[in-house]
Amino acid sequence: MALLFAVMLVTAAGNTAMQSVMPSIGTALGVADVWISLAYSWSALLWVA
């Protein structure tokens, strides 16, 4: 159970870190903001499901 908690904690921390830098990376790569937000929405939906 502790391993599962650790894995989920690391995954959540990584996702939170990426949320702060991904919009600027997407802009630099020419990806529209709607696709970045869709990716995070899809990720959140799968995380809850």
**Could you give the CA distance from residue 4 to residue 12 in angstroms, rounded to a whole number?**
12
Name the residue range of residue 49's domain: 23-49
Query: In this predicted model, what pLDDT tens digit does every residue of 1-49 receive, in sequence order?
Result: 999 999 989 988 888 888 889 889 999 999 999 999 898 889 888 877 7
Give the residue from 45, 22, 46, 47 showing the smallest Cα distance to 35: 22
Contacts of 43 (CB under 8 A, 6+ apart): 15
User: Residue 39 domain-assigned?
Assistant: yes
User: Residue 27 domain-assigned?
Assistant: yes
> What's the pLDDT at 10?
92
User: Residue 35 domain-assigned?
Assistant: yes
What is the number of domains present in the chain?
1
User: Residue 49 domain-assigned?
Assistant: yes
> What's the pLDDT at 38?
92
What is the token pair recorded at 33? 């903001």
User: Residue 16 domain-assigned?
Assistant: no
Query: Is the full-model pTM beyond 0.75?
Result: no
